[in-house]
Chains A and B, each alone.
Chain A
Amino acid sequence: MNKASSKLGEPLAQIFRVNFRPRLDPSLPTWIGACGLVGVLVGVPLWWLVTTSLRGEQGLTLAHYQQIFSDRALLRAVRNSLLIAFWASLLATAVGSLMGWLIARTDVPFKQLFRALVLASFVTPPFVGAFAWTMLAGPNAGWFNHLYRYTSGLEGYLFNIYSFEGVIFVIFLYSYPYAFTMITNALEPVSSEMEEAAAILGANRFRTALTITLPLITPALLGGFIFAFVHALALFGVPAILAMPAGFHTITTQIWVLLSQVPQEFEIVAALSVFLLLVAVVLLSLQKRVLGRKGFATITGRGMRRSPIELGRWRYPALIFCFFVVALAVFLPYLVLIKAAFSKAWAMPLKLENLTLDNWRVAVTGYSATKDAVINTLVLGVLTGTLGVGLAAFVAYAVNRKLFRGYQTLAYLSVAPTVVPAIVLAAGLLIAYSGPPFFLYGTIWILLLAYLTKELPVGYTQVDTTMKGIHIELEEASRILGAHRLSTMRSITLPLAKGGIIAAWLLMFIGAVRELSASILLYTSKSWVLSVLIIDLQNHGVIEVIAVLSILMLIFTFITVAFMQKFVGRDTLGLNE
């Protein structure tokens, strides 16, 4: 049997190798396949959303859109979302850019430490932060308000995290790294000559900052602001934890509620989602124009000289400012989480008899969903990273080597999911894949689809950057020496791109592990993930157990970040989300 087939196989192989292959141009089918795959990932859910939002009793209707703008409750949610996003991103841009400037340009101490801590705020899931802040600034039991009453001897409270301002504050704490990164990226390649020129002409430090540095970074400021705005608009966890108890909705929590009650209102959800999508599309294309505008000739060919601006007597106030920001975003929340995770009841004073390891036992063995959630989260993270990086690497390679005509379309499709807020994507997936012919709802595969789609731009951008740095002549040399494209890829391109590919894998893994906004619509009791479990357990009042799970999630994240630093060995805090 074996012999016969190999006898038959030989001439066949010869035919294929010698005669067929050169004639068959694989680029068109590959292009169709790749575009099709990427297109389906994004296209199908969005198509379902649009059609559902227009679905009426008879034929097409705009009634659901009208309802958004006539129903007072829905209109309030839209207004809340826009206001919260505006103030949070304004605050984030102001604080993030000031800190970015201090770190990139001045002689403020502990720069590396602050960079690491900004990275820590960046990777802290905002809902974990929000949860921690309920213990820090709850109006009655929160640490800060205890302190306030204790020191002032007054009644009442100073901070109420369950409020409009509370939501803005927490979103700000976890989105200032966007502006920070954009500003440091914009300032770092700029030589300090111009600033020095201003100084020579007699401008003082602040005049220099105002007239030279600020104009230089205006595009980055605007870009950072818009990015933070869209990010804030799409957040689910923070408003779910802080806004709903305070009695108001944002678009995202409204979508969730409309889908988790009887009867489910798919049409309104679809209309709200399309609205959210349009806002994101408009803003991000605006951002692209702002950032893509011809910049100033800041990077000169001559040798770069960079000398940090001396802050003088402002050096220590600047240090305190930076410290204050990271304390609010990282130190205090982590501290209160750790305390709660080891306490019998989180609000009890820190005494030996109030400490316990029982929360860890309950979290790990007590609740059957926890084990499933941890396993699912890790499985989904690994699958998202692996499949995603494969897809991203293929697309990036094809695009950079211009393997076929129309490669631009593929590049465009791969970054398209950036503009789709996660909850919008999830609503689309939910409608698309929970009926015939695809029954993916109720499995972890629908979550995988969501994560892959959401993380594809992240992975693609990362690999693309790496690929751009590998000059084609190395590959050409290999091809000239007789290697096939595939073996060239294996022995030349892949080893060179290894760092970037590993970074892409880790970034996509982190993205999947902390994902909440899409998961909250797509999970079922068969497909728990850690982030959803943390939100869900809020309703059970087991605060100490949630603290344990939050710490677990942070541990996963930080291990990944540590790997990333090791493999890539540079600043990995890119604008990749």
Chain B
Amino acid sequence: MSVKEITFNRVLTRDGKTMMARGRNLRLFLLLIPILLTPRLIRAQDGSLEQAKKEGRVVWYTAMALEMAEQVANIFEKTYGIKVELTRSASERVVARVIQEAQAGINNVDVIEISEAGDFALLKQKGLLRAHRPKNYERFPSTFLLDKDGYFHAWRATIAQPVYNTRLVLASAVPKSWKDLVDPIWKDKQLKVHYVSGAGTNVMAAITKIYGWDYYRNLRKNNPVIVQAASQGVSVVAAGERAILVEGNYYNTVRVKAKGNPVNVIFPSEGAVLVLSPAGIAQKAPHPNAAMFFLEYMFSEKIQQLLIDNTRLYVPHPNAKYPSDMPPLSQLKTLAVPVDELVKRQSEIKRMFTEIFGL
């Protein structure tokens, strides 16, 4: 990165008032306006490595499966020598934690990444995020652009779909649709994910749009065990403790299957549910430069390709190459719930889930 670009970045990181106060920078700024307005540069600060290194660490709260998140963190640490402090929790818990810490005046988190866009909109609304557009964002597929103000972008997309144990479910008996899952033959054999998980909320939002809450009232009759996260559910199915996980996901199943476990996914006829996982930077990030650097790293071609290769996630990067066993997102029949709808229905989903499943 050239020196010029660094100076220029500094100008941009300041808000309007600070810039006006610095007459010297103002002139420079006016000169730069035409360049600034070109989209390539509006993406703004990608944080210089030196500044990020000076801060020494970046704190990342994530809802990604632990193993994969560790891998992303480890590569970053090895490549740049900046420590990643990783905390993994269910989406809702991550958000509750961020809000709780903000209320207590604790600035701990730098980068937040969860699987529930509705909750992310809540964070933005509470002023807990800062805008940052990753490199190449204008070339991202529009599905991944979740916020028009650039506060958060989907870092990855997961296909939420039922997962079954191939030893416990005969090939002929494998359910073909979401509808099939409420069949009483699956009584005492299912797992369902709690609404604290992004997969849980997204699937419930999508399925109730088709079948209404009666779908879940019927599912309740099958007496499913409730788990807190899709990743937990997949390993319970893998161990043979339950036959079917209602809201599993593709990337976790691939990961667990690769270890030789008898699991597989179902592509339901109504469509799988596309769960977008937004990432953004905390407003009061204690390591702002490292945060930006890490976010850019998350959206970099190398890491995005890694997400595809290792776990079969869909990613926004325009150069991403998908292997033959992954159908292009455009050809996949998916049900996606828009962000504003997730925001609107959040309390309804919680209330109905609690009413039906008792938790």
Docked-complex contact B85 and A344, CB < 8 angstroms? no
Chain A interface residue bracket vs B: 35 or more
B61: which A residues are within 8 A, CB to CB?
525
- Please measure, in the bound complex, the distance between the C-alpha atom of A300 and the C-alpha atom of B99, giving whole angstroms: 64
A245: which B residues are within 8 A, CB to CB?
225-227
- Please measure, in the bound complex, the distance between the C-alpha atom of A344 and the C-alpha atom of B261, giving whole angstroms: 10
- Of residues 514 through 561 on chain A, the ones whose CB sits less than 8 Å from some CB of chain B are 524-526, 536-543
Query: Which among B86, B260, B358 has the greatest number of chain A C-beta atoms within 10 A?
Result: B358
Docked-complex contact A261 and B227, CB < 8 angstroms? no
- Please measure, in the bound complex, the distance between the C-alpha atom of A347 and the C-alpha atom of B262, giving whole angstroms: 12
Contact code string A159-198 (vs B, CB < 8 Å = 1, else 0)? 0001000000000000000000000000000000000000
Residue of A nearest to B192 (CB): A247
Segment at the interface with A among B90-98, B145-153, B270-278: B90-98
B358: which A residues are within 8 A, CB to CB?
73, 76, 247-249
Docked-complex contact B236 and A260, CB < 8 angstroms? no
Among candidates A141, A262, A367, A543, residue contacting B119 with C-beta atoms closer than 8 Å: A262
A367: which B residues are within 8 A, CB to CB?
66, 70
Segment at the interface with A among B15-23, B202-210, B239-247: B239-247
Docked-complex contact B106 and A524, CB < 8 angstroms? yes
- Please measure, in the bound complex, the distance between the C-alpha atom of A261 and the C-alpha atom of B260, giving whole angstroms: 35
Among candidates B85, B100, B234, residue contacting A264 with C-beta atoms closer than 8 Å: B100
B227: which A residues are within 8 A, CB to CB?
245, 539
Docked-complex contact B234 and A541, CB < 8 angstroms? yes
Segment at the interface with B among A99-107, A223-231, A286-294, A433-441: A433-441
- Please measure, in the bound complex, the distance between the C-alpha atom of A543 and the C-alpha atom of B260, giving whole angstroms: 16
A435: which B residues are within 8 A, CB to CB?
103-105
- Please measure, in the bound complex, the distance between the C-alpha atom of A247 and the C-alpha atom of B196, giving whole angstroms: 14
For the complex formed, measure the closest distance between the CB of B5 and the CB atoms of chain A, giving whole angstroms: 32
- Please measure, in the bound complex, the distance between the C-alpha atom of A192 and the C-alpha atom of B13, giving whole angstroms: 85
- Please measure, in the bound complex, the distance between the C-alpha atom of A140 and the C-alpha atom of B239, giving whole angstroms: 9
Docked-complex contact A543 and B235, CB < 8 angstroms? yes
Query: Which among B122, B188, B189, B233 has the greatest number of chain A C-beta atoms within 10 A?
Result: B188
B87: which A residues are within 8 A, CB to CB?
369, 525
Instruction: Determine if B73 is an interface residue (Cβ-Cβ < 8 Å).
Output: yes
B92: which A residues are within 8 A, CB to CB?
260-262
- Please measure, in the bound complex, the distance between the C-alpha atom of A181 and the C-alpha atom of B178, giving whole angstroms: 54
Query: Which among B122, B240, B242, B355 has the greatest number of chain A C-beta atoms within 10 A?
Result: B240
B99: which A residues are within 8 A, CB to CB?
262-264
Docked-complex contact A244 and B359, CB < 8 angstroms? yes
Docked-complex contact A542 and B235, CB < 8 angstroms? yes
Docked-complex contact A541 and B86, CB < 8 angstroms? no
Instruction: Determine if A39 is an interface residue (Cβ-Cβ < 8 Å).
Output: no
Query: Which among B87, B103, B243, B350 has the greatest number of chain A C-beta atoms within 10 A?
Result: B87
- Please measure, in the bound complex, the distance between the C-alpha atom of A436 and the C-alpha atom of B105, giving whole angstroms: 9
- Please measure, in the bound complex, the distance between the C-alpha atom of A16 and the C-alpha atom of B342, giving whole angstroms: 73
Beyond A262-B119, A525-B59, is A347–B231 a contact (Cβ under 8 Å)?
no
Instruction: Determine if B357 is an interface residue (Cβ-Cβ < 8 Å).
Output: yes
B89: which A residues are within 8 A, CB to CB?
536, 539
Docked-complex contact A139 and B188, CB < 8 angstroms? yes
Instruction: Determine if A346 is an interface residue (Cβ-Cβ < 8 Å).
Output: yes
Instruction: Determine if A257 is an interface residue (Cβ-Cβ < 8 Å).
Output: yes
Beyond A261-B92, A346-B239, A369-B87, is A540–B106 a contact (Cβ under 8 Å)?
no
A524: which B residues are within 8 A, CB to CB?
97, 101, 106, 108
Query: Interface residues of A: mostly helix, strand, loop or mixed?
Result: loop
Instruction: Determine if A442 is an interface residue (Cβ-Cβ < 8 Å).
Output: yes
For the complex formed, measure the closest distance between the CB of B248 and the CB atoms of chain A, giving whole angstroms: 11
Docked-complex contact A434 and B240, CB < 8 angstroms? no
Residue of A nearest to B86 (CB): A368
B189: which A residues are within 8 A, CB to CB?
140
Docked-complex contact A442 and B236, CB < 8 angstroms? no
Among candidates B59, B86, B109, residue contacting A369 with C-beta atoms closer than 8 Å: B86
- Of residues 322 through 359 on chain B, the ones whose CB sits less than 8 Å from some CB of chain A are 350, 354-355, 357-359
Instruction: Determine if A328 is an interface residue (Cβ-Cβ < 8 Å).
Output: no
Residue of A nearest to B98 (CB): A262
- Please measure, in the bound complex, the distance between the C-alpha atom of A138 and the C-alpha atom of B189, giving whole angstroms: 12
Instruction: Determine if B232 is an interface residue (Cβ-Cβ < 8 Å).
Output: yes
Docked-complex contact B259 and A541, CB < 8 angstroms? no
- Please measure, in the bound complex, the distance between the C-alpha atom of A64 and the C-alpha atom of B339, giving whole angstroms: 33
B225: which A residues are within 8 A, CB to CB?
162, 245-247
- Of residues 187 through 228 on chain B, the ones whose CB sits less than 8 Å from some CB of chain A are 188-189, 196, 224-228
B292: which A residues are within 8 A, CB to CB?
none
Among candidates B108, B188, B242, residue contacting A526 with C-beta atoms closer than 8 Å: B108
Residue of B nearest to A436 (CB): B105
Instruction: Determine if B238 is an interface residue (Cβ-Cβ < 8 Å).
Output: yes
Contact code string A315-346 (vs B, CB < 8 Å = 1, else 0)? 00000000000000000000000000000111
Docked-complex contact B96 and A525, CB < 8 angstroms? no
B103: which A residues are within 8 A, CB to CB?
434-435
Docked-complex contact A540 and B88, CB < 8 angstroms? yes
Instruction: Determine if B229 is an interface residue (Cβ-Cβ < 8 Å).
Output: yes
- Please measure, in the bound complex, the distance between the C-alpha atom of A368 and the C-alpha atom of B87, giving whole angstroms: 9
- Please measure, in the bound complex, the distance between the C-alpha atom of A141 and the C-alpha atom of B78, giving whole angstroms: 39
Interchain residue pairs with CB less than 8 A apart (11): A73-B355, A248-B359, A260-B92, A344-B259, A347-B238, A441-B101, A441-B104, A525-B85, A537-B66, A538-B228, A539-B229
Besides the known contacts A140-B189, A368-B84, 10 further A-B residue pairs in the complex with CB atoms under 8 A apart: A140-B240, A141-B239, A262-B95, A347-B240, A369-B87, A441-B104, A524-B106, A538-B228, A541-B233, A542-B67
Nearest 9 pairs between A and B by C-beta?
A: A541-B235, A525-B87, A434-B104, A347-B239, A442-B106, A141-B241, A541-B232, A539-B228, A540-B66
